[in-house]
Structure 1
Amino acid sequence: MRRGDDDRAETVDRGRFPDARTPWDDLDRRAEALDWATGRLAAHGLRESGRRQVRLRPWSVLVRFSVDGGRDDRPVWFKAVPPAAAFEAGLAAGLAAWVPDHVLAPLAVDAERGWCLLPDGGPLFRQVLDEGAGTLADWEDALRRYAVMQRALVPYAEKVTSLGVPSARPLELPGLFDTLLAENEALTGEERAELEALRPRLVEWCAELAAVGVADSLDHADLHEGQLFRPAPGRFTFFDWGDALVGHPFSSLLVPARSAEDRFGPQALTRLRDAYLEPWTGDGIAAGDLRRAVSLAWRLAALGRAASWGRMFPAPAAPAAPGGTETAHWLRELHREPPM
């Protein structure tokens, strides 16, 4: 496909970032991506039809293709991510091989360029909740299943890091904290001093969390209700791994618990923690130690969230690292006492 050859109508959504620059704004790179995507569609016996829907964010390009030729003509999705998150494509393929019952199996991946072609996963859990067809019990079920998946992935932790997924194990977090603090330009001098004073306690939290004895695994790191599908009651599919890291699995609880708390109130927190911990019992670790580990991992999860904001498309001539304001926000969260 040559530049300008494809004039198919498309709807573009830039959300809160109307000025963000992504590869979609480069006509040559856009043509290259479309050529790859439509070629992979054809390999599956699919052809593009109808208007494209393009979602542009500083951290991803997402294109919804309407297609003909499949069994149900459900849409297919192309995703491109920045170089710092290019591991997502290879990770998606790896997860489809290791835990196929829990994730989407990509139709195609280009791990080097960070491209992925994915089938439709059905309704988002957020949509189910908005329509009144989901409850807090569904969130409990989703987190039990997510914990089961994390346990199944423990033996693959090194393979996951070999794909380029960042390592943020508990004893590595003080070093990550130092890097984030040194590189961030959005913190005030007072905030920086307060965080530096917090470091000795952070080191203690990390050591205590590591000593609990829960093995490292994959942490989605952004598992809100828009990051999982619920195609049918009792079924959940996890996706969107651009913020992922390898670290203490319990750090995963921060985002979904806050998401559920916003919808169902603070009574959701204990229920979700207990549901999430069910698959982790029986390994000789006392229930009280598991709950303490949740509290420690909850607070330290802010570091993974802070780091993920650096994985954005580079902005030409930007005066500061991308995501600096958001990174500073999550560093400040280290001061907040966990609610459990």
Structure 2
Amino acid sequence: MTQSAGLPGATRAGPATQVWASDRWRWEATRWIDAVLPRRGITRVPVSPRQPRIRPWSTQLVIDTDHGRAWFKAAVPEVAPEAAIHRLLGDVAPDLLAPQWAVDAERGWILGPDQGPQLRDVATPETITSLWSGVLRRYARLQRASVSVVDRLVDAGVPLLGPLDLVQAWVARGYGHERAADARLLAAAERLLKVGLPLTIEHGDLHAGNVFCADGSSTAAHNARFFDWDDAYVGNPLGSLLIALRGPGYHFGLPDDPERDDRLLRAYLSGWSDVFSTQDARRVAPDALLLARVARLIGWDRALARATEAERAQWQEHPDQWTAEILALTADG
């Protein structure tokens, strides 16, 4: 059976968490960290790296250095290639990404400096809508910059999931059990394609926990940097709004609010106003959000590719939720 270079000692179908929890793996990761830091004139403090969490799709190590705290991340090869995403988006929008010190693309390892607080840690229920509006304008700029490198992103292994690709994935992977769902997803894809939006990078999980910011002041959105690209794909830009519109309610316990959603939508679309009609984008936004739910299903497939049966059972509620939403939105009647 083939071994993965990113998961030493694990078969392609083996559980990643067991590898990452082993002394052998931590020793190998630490040895790599100690090899690459001196090349940047950085020295690791002689304290064993801390491992705050292990998930079926990724794990992190926290490292203390003479230049402050650093973070190491490892991910299964089935998720989006984060090292390549940083490299390619860094060519066109370096100020919108968290900087990296070193990467090992083959093993899916990334090492970079601590970037300070995440937006969800410094925002409040009263400020999140304003701050998130600014972040979405900045994210739209990142997407626009990515248009010039989408082919390179796909060549590097970022999944290509345009509207019709998502419909095909829904059917081919056995998600579709009702013809009504298949037909309505296809109709949504065709309406979306008619608007002519360009393919861009899609974060796949755009919320305030995946955005670094300097502080919680009114200017925090101006220096926001995006990270954690495991769920990324190349697709229709409006799909990013699926998670982005839910984030304020999820993180801050806010009730559903159509006015808040409309404000956030307007902020995001303002970043595209010279490229395509805001009226057209508003008209097909529900279609984009419907298809983005299929992308979330595919993302969970990738994330759990090396999970144990127990881990699959633990996380299954998430793909089940997306499936239920898709079927409810495409049901007859």
What TM-score comes out, normalization by structure 2 length? 0.84
Report percent identity of matched pairs.
Answer: 34
Aligned residue number for residue 120 of structure 1? 114
Matched, 1:279 2:264: no
Closer/same/farther in 2, CA of residues 316 and 257 from structure 1, 3 Å limit = closer
Listed as ranges, the matches of 1:22-101 within 5 Å are 22-49=18-45, 50=47, 52-54=49-51, 55-68=53-66, 70=67, 73=68, 75-85=69-79, 87-101=81-95
How far off its partner does 1:304 sit?
Answer: 1.1
How far off its partner does 1:24 sit?
Answer: 1.7
In 2, Cα distance between equivalents of 1:174 and 1:97: 31
Aligned residue number for residue 12 of structure 2? none
SS at match of 1:291: helix
Matched, 1:335 2:318: no
Contact 1:230/1:237 (<8 A) preserved: yes
Contact 2:83/2:109 (<8 A) preserved: yes
1:203 maps to amino acid: L
Closer/same/farther in 2, CA of residues 272 and 316 from structure 1, 3 Å limit = closer
Aligned residue number for residue 236 of structure 1? 224
Paired residues, what number? 304
Structure 2: state its 5+ residue gaps. Answer: 1-14
Which residue of 266, 288, 294 corresponds with 1:303? 294
In 2, Cα distance between equivalents of 1:133 and 1:66: 34
Aligned residue number for residue 134 of structure 2? 141
SS at match of 1:309: helix
Moved more, 49-58 or 119-128: 49-58
In 1, Cα distance between equivalents of 2:315 and 2:149: 30
What TM-score comes out, normalization by structure 1 length? 0.82
Aligned residue number for residue 7 of structure 1? none
Aligned residue number for residue 186 of structure 1? none
Aligned residue number for residue 258 of structure 1? 246
Structure 1: state its 5+ residue gaps. Answer: 1-18, 183-191
2:226 maps to amino acid: F
How far off its partner does 1:162 sit?
Answer: 0.9
Moved more, 172-181 or 220-229: 172-181
How far off its partner does 1:92 sit?
Answer: 1.7
Contact 1:166/1:246 (<8 A) preserved: yes
In 2, Cα distance between equivalents of 1:61 and 1:320: 17
Higher relative contact order (CA 8 A, sep 6+): 2
Aligned residue number for residue 200 of structure 1? 183
Q: Deviations over 1:235-266 (max 9, x none)?
A: 20000000000000110011111012343441
In 2, Cα distance between equivalents of 1:42 and 1:133: 44
SS at match of 1:167: coil
2:225 maps to amino acid: T
Q: Deviations over 1:165-221 (max 9, x none)?
A: 111001211111123326xxxxxxxxx634x43101111101111111110000001
Moved over 6 A (4+): 317-322
Closer/same/farther in 2, CA of residues 47 and 133 from structure 1, 3 Å limit = farther
Aligned residue number for residue 269 of structure 1? 261
Closer/same/farther in 2, CA of residues 150 and 27 from structure 1, 3 Å limit = same
Aligned residue number for residue 167 of structure 2? 174
SS at match of 1:280: coil
How far off its partner does 1:95 sit?
Answer: 1.9
In 2, Cα distance between equivalents of 1:222 and 1:325: 17
Aligned residue number for residue 144 of structure 2? 151
SS at match of 2:181: helix
CA-atom RMSD, angstroms? 2.5
Matched, 1:220 2:199: no
Closer/same/farther in 2, CA of residues 204 and 133 from structure 1, 3 Å limit = closer
Contact 1:86/1:114 (<8 A) preserved: no
How far off its partner does 1:51 sit?
Answer: 5.6
